[in-house]
Amino acid sequence: MPWIGTSSTGQFACVNASQRTLKALRIKRKGQPVFVLGHVLERKGQEATFEAFNDRLAVVKFSDECLVGYDPSELLLPTDIDEHGIPYFEIRSCQSCAMLFPLTMEECESDKEPERCSDCIG
């Protein structure tokens, strides 16, 4: 899957060591799958797709067509996207700060998953 994580080919991005949220993406494509954290409790933990920027908020669309604006750092990238475009999210809770963070494919497949988010490790 050489296209995973590259933005130049028009595909959507997945998590890697330096990009775990929408904020880290240089090119944010409409339709990019994301996992929503953030302030709207009934939406927390749901999957959505990125639509557009409205001021500094990233507007995402949920499966019920509802549009909500988020800080792009509250939108987690998928661990993997399969050949049918279905995103998979492996989300863990940091044992230091309790923030949710997504795993990379490599972390997922390794024997020892990280227990802390990159902010706490870093």
The residues that touch Zn ion, with contacts defined as CB under 5 A, are 94, 96-97, 99, 117, 120
The token duo for 81 is 């996207």
Q: How many angstroms from the chain centroid is the CA of residue 84?
A: 18
Cite the DSSP H helix spans in the chain. 105-109, 118-121
* Rounded Cα gap, residues 115 and 102, in angstroms: 11
Work out how close the CB of 23 gets to Zn ion at its nearest, in angstroms, rounded to a whole number.
Answer: 16
106 vs 115, beta carbon nearer Zn ion: 115
Q: In a 10 Å sphere around its CB, with 0-12 CB exposed, 13-18 middle and 19+ buried, how is residue 99 labelled?
A: middle
Residue (81 or 103) nearer to Zn ion, CB: 103
- For residue 120, the minimal CB distance to Zn ion (Å) is 3
**Closer residue to Zn ion in complex, CB, 60/117:** 117
| Least distance CB 17 / Zn ion (angstroms) | 15
Per the CB < 8 A criterion, the answer to whether 40 and 62 are in contact is: no
Pick 24 or 99: Cβ nearer Zn ion? 99
